[in-house]
Amino acid sequence: MKLRTFLMLVLAVALAFPLVVHCNEKETDTVGKQKILLNAPGDWARQGQKPIMEIPDGIFSVSNQVHFFCTHTFKLQPGKKFSFYAEVRSDDEIKGPLHAAVVLCDKTRKHIPAMCCVVAPGDTMTQLVQPTTEKQNFIIVKNNPKWLELYKQGFGVVAFNARQDLSDLPNSNYSTKITDITPDEENLRVTFEKELYEEFPAGTNVRLHKTSGFYKTIEYVFPNKEWRKIGGVIEAPANIEYFFPCIIYYGPEEKRIQIRNLQMIVE
């Protein structure tokens, strides 16, 4: 077999089968699909605590208010698709959702608040009908029917100077929490917890963002006794440079959740 033919065969095999590496290597420039395992001691920690170093049977067991953070960050790269997955279960009856999520970070790896970068689903873009002043605690916007619905689902912050292509993200020009949205003829009157911090002219583009928090949900489930795979593709604004995956759950201390087979897929 000629050397050229042999090398082409080796490359074809490499592309067909994912490369498996441990997260501590954090190399994501490899050609082909890459599976990064996140199941070793030191890969995960509860927020504000030391990394978990004992993992009986390769299964993490967590309870109470869980901010279960990966201890490694990943750099987003143009043309690369990142996906995060885990398997979860519980012997207890879990009434609250468990989230597979990511924390988005800036170039210094400092996390970016959700109000800056987690956009409400669908198209919530609209415009100011009237100019604003710093002393008012409300705005009048052209009616977008999604606003009333999504405001009740936790998207209760307005981002100003928004762009349709999301190139404004992360956007630090956001309001305080919305306290009320009232239809006003063909418009909406949106009232805030506090006065606006800046003046904006009529016609300014605005959009709904997540009310609070620090994470962006990929998928959520209600764990039961069967192991269930959770996760999916990580979607982040183009201007975001780093992220790390996390598992989020809020529940009573006596309810325990098991987690295994945590991994990042890069392709």
The domain that contains 42 carries what CATH number? Answer: 2.60.120.260
pLDDT in tens, 124-158: 999 999 999 988 999 999 999 999 999 999 999 99
Pairing of strands 19-22, 34-37: parallel
- Phi then psi for residue 186, to 5 deg, are -90, 5
pLDDT in tens, 5-60: 433 443 333 333 344 443 443 555 555 789 999 999 999 998 778 888 888 888 99
What is the model's pLDDT at position 219?
A: 95
Mean pLDDT of the chain: 86
What is the model's pLDDT at position 53?
A: 87
Verify that 93 and 225 share a domain, yes or no: yes
For residues 91-108, average pLDDT: 88
Q: CA 65, 71, 72: angle at the middle one, nearest 5?
A: 140
pLDDT in tens, 157-180: 999 999 999 999 999 999 999 999
Verify that 205 and 220 share a domain, yes or no: no
Verify that 107 and 27 share a domain, yes or no: yes
Q: How many domains does the chain have?
A: 2
Q: Which of 211, 4, 250, 245 is nearest to 102 (CA)?
A: 245
Instruction: Let me know if residue 190 belongs to a domain.
Output: yes
Cβ(204)–Cβ(134) below 8 Å: no
DSSP string covering 198-222, please? S---TT-EEEEE-SS-S-EEEEEE-
Domain encompassing residue 193 = 117-209
Cβ(101)–Cβ(215) below 8 Å: yes
pLDDT in tens, 218-248: 999 999 999 999 999 999 888 899 999 999 9
What is the model's pLDDT at position 28?
A: 55
Verify that 203 and 145 share a domain, yes or no: yes
Verify that 162 and 95 share a domain, yes or no: no
pLDDT exceeds cutoff 70 at 253: no
As a whole number of angstroms, the distance between CA 158 and CA 210 comes to 9
Give residue 231's region: left, alpha or beta (phi > 0; psi -120 to 50): left
- CA-derived radius of gyration, the chain: 22
